[in-house]
Amino acid sequence: MKKLRITVEGKAYDVTVEVLDSSAPAPIVSQTAQVSAPISAPTPSAAPAPAPTAAAGAGDVVSPMAGSVLKVEVQNGAAVNEGDLLVQLEAMKMETPIFAPFGGTVSNISVSAGDSVQEGQVLVTIS
C-alpha cells in the first residue's frame, strides 16, 4: 500500500493506493501543470412528443411506440380498472406492457396478437 497526497482545485486529499502489479514501473512526475477546460451549460433535452390526439377518442388507449402486439390480455366487454394490463407490445426485443389509464368497460379491441402497430395507433377503447 502506498500513501499519496493528491491536490484537486487547491484542496489536498490523502489517499491510500494498493499496488497490484509490482512489475510495472511507477510513473515519475517531475512537474505539474494547470489544466482547465471550459464548462458548458448542459443542453436541454428534447421535449417529449405530445400524445397523439387526432385519431384517438376520449376512451382510446394508443400505442406509445411502433412495434408488434405480443398478446391482447383483455376481451370485449371486460370490466377493467385503472392499471390493469391490456396489451403486451414488443419492439427491439423489449416487451412493453400497456396498462389501462382509467377504469371502465372494454368496448373495442383494435389489434390482435402478431399485428404491427404504429406510434399513436388505437389499441383498445374503454368506455
Query: Domain of 82: which CATH number?
Result: 2.40.50.100
1 pLDDT exceeds 60? yes
Cβ proximity of 125 and 104 under 8 Å = no
Task: Report the number of distinct structural domains present in the chain.
Answer: 1
Residue 46: predicted pLDDT: 62
Task: Using alpha carbons only, give the angle 34, 38, 45 rounded to the nearest 5 degrees.
Answer: 145
From 3-17, 44-58, 77-91, 109-123, the region with the lowest mean pLDDT: 44-58
Q: Is residue 22, in this structure, part of any structural domain at all?
A: no
Q: Is residue 35, in this structure, part of any structural domain at all?
A: no
**Whole-structure pTM value:** 0.56
Nearest-CA neighbor of 17 among 5, 28, 30?
5
Q: Is residue 99, in this structure, part of any structural domain at all?
A: yes
Domain that residue 102 falls in: 60-126
